[in-house]
Amino acid sequence: MAVLVDGNWLNQYVAPQLLAEFKNDKDDFIGVLKGAPRQAITADGIRFNKLINNVGFIVDNSAEFTAKKMDGKKAFVEWEKYDTEPTSVDDAEIRSLNYDKRSAVRVKHTEAFKRGIRDHVMWKLAPDDDTNEDMPVMRTTGPDDGTGRKRLTFVDLVKYLEKIEVLNLGNPEENYMVLCPEHRTDLIIDRDSASYFSNKNIFFDPKTGEVQSVMGFKFFRNNAVLAYDNLGAKLAKGAALTSTDRRASLFFHAANTVYHLDSVKILYKPETTDTKSADPTSEFRTQTYGLVDRIQEIGVGAIVSGIVV
């Protein structure tokens, strides 16, 4: 079996293509997030106004009405700066390579940027903990999968839908869930979902294994980005899981999100400007500013794998 070791082959007897990097760049769910109106974007961020609906409904009124003021609330989402770490390429390391390393490095930066934005969006939208009923975080209750993790069941999914419906969100068509790999597998093998959908094509695409829109949710699948500890707090992005931490699937109501990127800049310093190094060096970096957040503390949530006690 081939083993990767440090370095690059420098002679001409080398396969012309680079070995593929098998990392998931899937970010299709970002397409349903709400964009920011251009006229609302400022140098500081984006500002939102909201009227709090205090209009009452009365039957068989016989008294004189008194008009009430309708108060407003405001929210602010500030800019964030997104960068890839710079990569240097010197003239000595590329002079004998049979591929264009500078071009390949640019591609790697684009891939890393897409993965970074995708992971950040999922992490940023998810509730910080399980204390707010308007942003429900629910634990799975299924059987042990053999590792001390409780599987997600079809019954869990229905119960979570009930928690979402209680919120009375404006448009059910904008309810989405990004399934982590474990929960997607759980639903495929769950006996209740299998018996409820005797025709598996209704729930799963038999060719791809994609979970279809069902029970008021539209599903995406993605890698394991979100995780919560045993006390219900969201782990820091990229943190290593302990034995009591569990991965989670993200729920979001698209109307309650905002996502905007400025033009992504490919920053490149060519080696032709390096007049001092023994081996002239070029550098690459990707950078932009963006807005990613939930705009109200309602309508997002998570389903977290339960812990077998």
- Check residue 196 and give its pLDDT: 59
Look up residue 239 and give its DSSP letter.
P
Q: Is the pLDDT confidence value at 116 over 60?
A: yes
3-state secondary structure of 85: coil
If one compares 101 and 306, the residue with the highest pLDDT of the two is 306
On whether the CB atoms of residues 73 and 293 are closer than 8 A, the answer is no
Q: Report pLDDT digits (tens) over 252-287.
A: 999 999 999 888 888 889 888 989 989 899 999 999
- Check residue 84 and give its pLDDT: 93
On whether the CB atoms of residues 233 and 129 are closer than 8 A, the answer is yes
Q: Is the dihedral of CA 203, 209, 210, 211 positive or negative?
A: positive
Q: pLDDT > 70: what percent of the chain?
A: 83
- Check residue 218 and give its pLDDT: 84
Place 160 in a pLDDT band, splitting at 50, 70 and 90. very high
Across the range 96-121, mean pLDDT stands at 86
CATH fold group of domain 26-309: phage-related protein like fold (3.90.1690)
Q: Is the dihedral of CA 113, 116, 122, 125 positive or negative?
A: negative
**Lowest mean per-residue pLDDT among 97-101, 124-128, 207-211, 212-216:** 207-211
Q: Report pLDDT digits (tens) over 60-88.
A: 788 888 888 888 888 888 999 999 999 99
Beta bridge partners of 219: 177
Across the range 5-30, mean pLDDT stands at 62
- Check residue 80 and give its pLDDT: 93
Q: Report pLDDT digits (tens) over 47-61.
A: 888 777 778 888 878
Place 191 in a pLDDT band, splitting at 50, 70 and 90. low
Q: Hey, where are the domains in the chain?
A: 26-309
Place 124 in a pLDDT band, splitting at 50, 70 and 90. very high
Place 23 in a pLDDT band, splitting at 50, 70 and 90. low
Place 16 in a pLDDT band, splitting at 50, 70 and 90. low
Across the range 15-26, mean pLDDT stands at 56
Geometric angle at alpha carbon 278, from 277 and 280, rounded to 5°:
60
- Check residue 121 and give its pLDDT: 93
Tokens of 97: 């390579």
Q: Report pLDDT digits (tens) over 198-251.
A: 555 556 665 665 666 666 678 888 777 899 999 999 999 889 999 999 999 999
- Check residue 228 and give its pLDDT: 96
Q: How much is the pTM? A: 0.82
**Lowest mean per-residue pLDDT among 121-130, 150-159, 190-199:** 190-199
Q: Is the pLDDT confidence value at 22 over 70?
A: no
Place 96 in a pLDDT band, splitting at 50, 70 and 90. confident
Place 305 in a pLDDT band, splitting at 50, 70 and 90. very high
Q: Is the dihedral of CA 267, 271, 273, 277 positive or negative?
A: positive
- Check residue 50 and give its pLDDT: 75
Kindly report the backbone phi and psi dihedral angles of residue 101, in degrees, each rounded to the nearest multiple of 5, phi listed first.
-65, -35
Kindly report the backbone phi and psi dihedral angles of residue 206, in degrees, each rounded to the nearest multiple of 5, phi listed first.
-65, -20
